[in-house]
């Protein structure tokens, strides 16, 4: 049977709250007419704050249960709206909270942490006030932009992966990156190079990645394209000329060619157009070499705070053996190793482990042991090859460590566990497992690692008080 299509309606609604993806949510109840009495419409609206009154146009309004929309008009600003941000500013998927004033963003994130912990039955009195940034702008040391199919160079629109918003400036990017963007964008226009079109797999330019160090000042620019620079020697030389002329700090300009695969890691060839293939950076006084595909903390100011907090909670000494699970390139491992007897790190990505090994060496640490392995298998193997640690720190991906890994950790039975989380929902789920093994929540410290986004980091200390499961 063909479904009835109802008329398009223009509705004035008041935003109730911001959901975990950053969309404004309001539940609209249709007035009692044409048999739709009490029917609900869940509206998810971009670029709003709670209390905003907005006008939206909804197609087939009574025939649907939900709609994701941009508003047509802001009729009244909610109390937490940052009025300094122009309302017509297109917001990329990277900054869904940009319209909310910073204190309200912090409260939203703290509440999110408390909410998930409360659902899991933990005492939210233990949650300390969130640590925000003094200057919550231009904090990223890495930006990755996409070339759109029709000449844009920017970020995907919130909720729409097909549309690229041409970036004029970004609240997240250091000024130097906006400047590089404009030079590369002009260069693209001058040579009429088309952006890559995902569906038809045509076009040339895919992404522009920029990295910089806030300590050394070094700058890396990487262009990802479907063909290599050897096919466009004049344009490639001109790009080098334009960028090196304007940016003294540019120590690495690379053109990465990959035509067939979507996996950049399998790039066909990397061409170094200028300088070397990495930049030097520093975090908490430790030196790191960072290549284009190396994972490295994107907000160094807050990352240093995270590391300091983790060290404080870990309270390690020169007698202790420490395990850093999901260790990546060693952001927590190096400072922990410097303050303990021995450190082992487990991480699934071999490239990160190779970086961690080199980073330890570059920093003169000779008490580290890094292992490429899946966390669960690695824990079992480590017990035989390295022994049991006195303290365990874990910093899993957004999905969390999961029950199997958490049970293995529980069986290790260290007195203290420091959990660094980038997703409060999976954090709460994982902590429930530790509770089963007799661990008690001691401290919960949320940190705003990514202002203007919905992400929140949390550092948690759990201590063992009793053993319920052997």
Catalytic residues: 422
Q: Does 213 bind ligand SAM (CB under 6 A)?
A: no
330-344 burial, b at 16+ Cβ within 10 Å, e below that, comes to bbbbbbbbbbbebbb
Contact 404, 376 (CB under 8 A): yes
Contact status: 326 vs ligand SAM (CB under 6 A): yes
Interacting residue with ligand SAM among 165, 329, 406, 431 (CB under 6 A):
329
Complete DSSP assignment for 190-218: HHTPPBPBTTTTB-SEEEEEEEE-TTT--
Confirm or reject binding of residue 395 to ligand SAM (CB under 6 A). Answer: yes
Residue 50 CB, shortest distance to ligand SAM, in Å, is 30
Least distance to ligand SAM from the beta carbon of 378, Å? 7
Minimal CA–CA distance to 62: which of 9, 15, 11?
9
Task: Kindly tell me which of 243 and 327 has the beta carbon lying closer to ligand SAM.
Answer: 327
Q: How far is the CB of 277 from ligand SAM (least distance, A)?
A: 19
- Within positions 273 to 302, which residues make up the interface with ligand SAM, using CB under 6 A? 295, 297
Closest distance of CB 374 from ligand SAM, Å: 4
Number of residues that bind ligand SAM (CB under 6 A): 18
**What mask of x and - would describe binding to ligand SAM in positions 340 to 359, judged by CB under 6 A?**
-------xxx--x-------
Could you say whether residue 332 binds ligand SAM (CB under 6 A)? yes
Judge whether 347 is annotated as a binding position: yes
Q: Is 350 marked within a binding site?
A: no
Q: Residue 43 is inside which H or E element, if any? A: strand 40-45
Q: What is the residue whose two structure tokens read 């420091």?
A: 418
Strands (E) in 177-329, as ranges, are 205-212, 219-225, 250-257, 269-275, 279-283, 286-290, 321-325
H or E, element range at 347: strand 342-347
- Residue 46 interacts with ligand SAM (CB under 6 A): yes or no: no
**Torsions phi, psi for 311 (to 5 deg):** -65, -40
For residue 44, give the nearest of 63, 60, 65 by alpha carbon.
65
Contact track, ligand SAM, 406-425, x by CB under 6 A: ----------------x---
74 belongs to the binding site for ligand SAM (CB under 6 A): no
144 assigned binding-site residue: no
When CB distances to ligand SAM are compared, the closest residue is: 328
| Main-chain phi, psi angles of 147, to 5 degrees | -85, 120
Residue pair 401/412 in contact (Cβ under 8 Å)? The answer is no
387 in contact with ligand SAM (CB under 6 A):
no
- Confirm or deny that 326 is annotated as ligand binding: yes
- Give the separation between CA 379 and CA 384, rounded to whole angstroms: 9
- Cα 103 to chain center, whole Å? 20
The residue from 195, 275, 328, 446 that contacts ligand SAM (CB under 6 A) is 328
19, 268, 333, 371, 458 from 307: Cα distances, Å? 29, 36, 10, 21, 11
Q: Which CB, 99 or 139, lies closer to ligand SAM?
A: 139
Binding residues for S-adenosyl-L-methionine, as ranges, are: 297, 326, 347, 395
Q: Footprint of ligand SAM on this chain (CB under 6 A)?
A: 295, 297, 326-329, 331-332, 347-349, 352, 374-375, 395-397, 422
């Amino acid at each position: 049977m063909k479904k009835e299509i109802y008329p398009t309606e223009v509705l004035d609604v008041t935003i109730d709250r911001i959901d975990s993806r950053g969309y404004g949510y309001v539940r609209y109840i249709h007035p009692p007419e044409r048999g739709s009495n009490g029917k609900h419409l869940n509206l998810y609206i971009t670029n709003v704050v709670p209390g905003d009154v907005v006008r939206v146009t909804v197609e087939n309004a009574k025939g649907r249960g939900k709609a994701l929309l941009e508003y047509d008009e802001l009729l009244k600003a909610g109390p937490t709206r940052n009025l300094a941000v122009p309302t017509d500013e297109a917001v990329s998927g990277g900054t869904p909270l940009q319209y909310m004033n910073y204190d309200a963003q912090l409260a939203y994130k703290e509440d999110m942490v408390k909410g998930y912990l409360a659902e899991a039955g933990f005492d939210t009195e233990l949650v300390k006030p969130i640590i925000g940034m003094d200057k919550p702008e231009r904090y990223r040391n890495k930006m990755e932009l996409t070339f759109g199919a029709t000449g844009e160079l920017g970020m995907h629109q919130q909720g729409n992966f097909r549309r690229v918003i041409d970036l004029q400036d970004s609240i997240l990017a250091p000024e130097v990156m906006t400047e590089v963007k404009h030079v590369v964008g002009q260069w693209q226009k001058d040579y009429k190079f088309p952006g890559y079109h995902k569906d038809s797999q045509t076009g040339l330019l895919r992404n522009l990645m920029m990295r910089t160090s806030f300590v050394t000042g070094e700058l890396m620019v990487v262009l990802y394209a479907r063909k290599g620079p050897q096919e466009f020697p004049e344009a490639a030389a001109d790009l080098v000329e334009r960028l090196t002329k304007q940016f003294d700090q540019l120590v690495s300009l690379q053109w990465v060619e990959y035509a067939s695969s979507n996996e950049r890691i399998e790039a066909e060839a990397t061409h170094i157009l200028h300088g070397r293939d990495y930049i030097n950076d520093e975090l908490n006084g430790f030196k790191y070499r960072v290549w284009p595909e190396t994972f490295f903390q994107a907000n160094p100011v807050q990352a240093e705070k995270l590391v300091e907090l983790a060290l404080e909670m870990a309270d390690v000494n020169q007698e202790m053996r420490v395990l850093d699970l999901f260790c990546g390139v060693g952001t927590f491992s190096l400072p922990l190793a410097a303050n303990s007897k021995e450190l082992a790190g487990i991480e699934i990505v071999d490239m990160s482990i190779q970086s961690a090994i080199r980073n330890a060496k570059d920093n003169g640490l000779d008490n580290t042991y890094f292992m490429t392995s899946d966390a669960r298998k690695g824990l079992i193997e480590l017990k035989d090859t390295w022994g049991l640690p006195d303290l365990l720190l874990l910093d899993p991906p957004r999905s969390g460590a999961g029950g199997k890994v958490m049970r293995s950790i529980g069986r290790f039975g260290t007195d203290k566990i420091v959990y660094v989380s980038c997703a409060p929902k999976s954090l709460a789920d994982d902590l429930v497992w530790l509770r089963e093994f007799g661990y008690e929540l001691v401290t919960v410290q949320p940190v705003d690692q990514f202002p203007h986004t919905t992400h929140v980091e949390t550092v948690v200390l759990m201590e063992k008080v009793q053993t319920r499961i052997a």
